[in-house]
Structure formats: structure tokens, C-alpha cells
């Protein structure tokens, strides 16, 4: 079986996404890239009920290389992100606070220094119908400049990583940051960190991991 370990990892991280409340029902999708092949979650399946054989493998130009099930409808978005970045895993969720921010704002302001781990301000990609090339392009544009996460207007969030564990942690961080912002907004106006304050954090060494690894 092609990418057997990676397909098993999709199932393991899919369960963790469900346990962490980042997805409901059959929403959300994950993928991992190895060379010119991408293992992706299937369309229409609960992320915590998948077996490795349920996860199809596609080529970078979107052709099915192996698998019985159809790839997730958002596969074009995953492939567009792999074309545009050196990242090796994508986690797309419909997490609650991410969806709240993505429904009301055009970006998540830097209200906590850990936002730097995602590349600073998180942009909200313009709305487009799910599964379309237009949505894939909008998310790719929102990731420009080395971002490791984006929100999708009236939809959810996307996080990138060098592997699935890292993409999952970035997805959790994105949801946590959105949760802090929304709750802070409920009791006052959140204070946004200044450029100088963020720069001071970078100077202390907090930064996204280097890519490619040395």
C-alpha cells in the first residue's frame, strides 16, 4: 500500500482533531505530502472513523494514485498549498472560534505573542464555495509571506506543518488564539500587541521552525 505510515497518521490525527473538538461530523480534512504523492482524507467520512485504506493517495496534479474512496472535496486547496509552500502537512478544520472570527473579521490581530508561531497576523481568506479552485486560490493567497495558518471566511481554518503533528498543533493554536480573542472581546476591547512588542519577542528567539531543517 502506498504511503501506509502516512495514511495511518491521517487516521490518528483525524481522531485527535475530533477529540479536540476541531471538527464535527464529516467536516474537516487532512493531508500529508511525500515527494509527488499526497495522502488525503476521503470525502464524506468522519475523521475519527477512518482506517488507513479509506484514505486515498493522489498525485500533485490531482490524479488518484491509489484508493477506493474519493479524495476530500477540498483536495484542490491542499494541493495548491503544497505547490506554494515547502510544508508537508495540511489540517483543515471547522473549529468553533476559528469560524466565529472568520465570519466577522478580515484578520485575527496579534493579541498574544504565540501568534508569531503561525507567522503573525492570521488573514481571513475571501469567501468562495467549498471545494472550488477559487477557494483554493483564496486560501493560498492568505498564506502568502510564510504564514502557517489562515482562516476561511464563513467556513473554518487551515494550518500547515512540516508533518501532521505540527500541522495539528498549529490548528489547535489557531483555535486557541481565536478563542482568546472572542472571549476577550466579550469583556472589553482586546489590546493588540505593537510591532515593537512582537519584534522583541522575535529577538528572544521565538520564531517558526526553520525550513528546510538543517
Helix 75-84 and helix 133-142, axial crossing angle in degrees, nearest 10: 40
DSSP letter, residue 45: -
The answer to whether the bond into 212 is cis (omega within 30° of 0) is yes
CA distances from 166 to 49, 69, 77, 173 (A): 22, 26, 19, 10
The residue from 74, 87, 166, 175 that is catalytic is 74
CA distance 196 to 105: 24
CA distance 34 to 210: 19
DSSP letter, residue 54: G
- For 65, the 3-state DSSP assignment is strand
Q: Beta strands 149-152 and 156-161: pairing type?
A: antiparallel
Contact by Cβ (8 Å): 31, 41: yes
CA 159 to chain CA mean position, Å: 2
Contact by Cβ (8 Å): 110, 120: yes
Q: Could you confirm whether 74 is annotated as catalytic? A: yes
Catalytic residue set:
74
Amino acid at each position: 500500500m502506498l504511503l501506509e505510515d502516512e495514511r495511518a497518521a491521517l487516521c490518528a490525527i483525524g481522531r485527535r482533531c475530533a477529540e479536540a473538538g476541531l471538527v464535527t461530523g464529516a467536516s474537516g480534512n487532512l493531508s500529508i505530502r511525500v515527494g509527488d504523492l499526497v495522502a488525503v482524507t476521503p470525502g464524506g467520512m468522519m475523521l475519527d472513523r477512518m482506517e488507513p485504506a479509506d484514505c486515498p493517495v493522489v498525485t500533485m496534479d490531482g490524479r488518484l494514485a491509489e484508493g477506493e474512496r474519493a479524495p476530500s472535496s477540498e483536495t484542490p486547496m491542499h494541493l495548491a498549498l503544497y505547490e506554494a509552500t515547502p510544508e508537508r502537512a495540511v489540517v483543515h478544520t471547522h473549529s468553533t472560534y476559528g469560524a466565529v472570527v472568520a465570519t466577522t473579521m478580515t484578520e485575527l490581530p496579534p493579541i498574544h505573542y504565540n501568534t508569531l508561531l503561525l507567522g503573525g497576523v492570521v488573514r481571513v481568506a475571501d469567501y468562495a464555495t467549498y471545494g472550488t479552485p477559487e477557494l483554493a486560490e483564496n486560501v493560498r493567497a492568505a498564506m502568502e509571506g510564510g504564514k502557517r495558518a489562515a482562516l476561511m471566511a464563513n467556513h473554518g481554518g487551515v494550518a500547515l506543518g512540516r508533518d501532521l503533528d505540527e500541522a495539528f498543533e498549529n490548528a489547535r493554536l489557531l483555535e486557541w488564539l481565536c478563542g482568546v480573542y472572542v472571549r476577550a472581546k466579550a469583556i472589553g476591547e482586546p489590546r493588540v500587541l505593537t510591532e515593537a512588542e512582537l519584534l522583541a519577542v522575535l529577538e528572544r528567539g521565538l520564531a517558526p521552525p526553520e525550513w528546510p531543517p538543517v
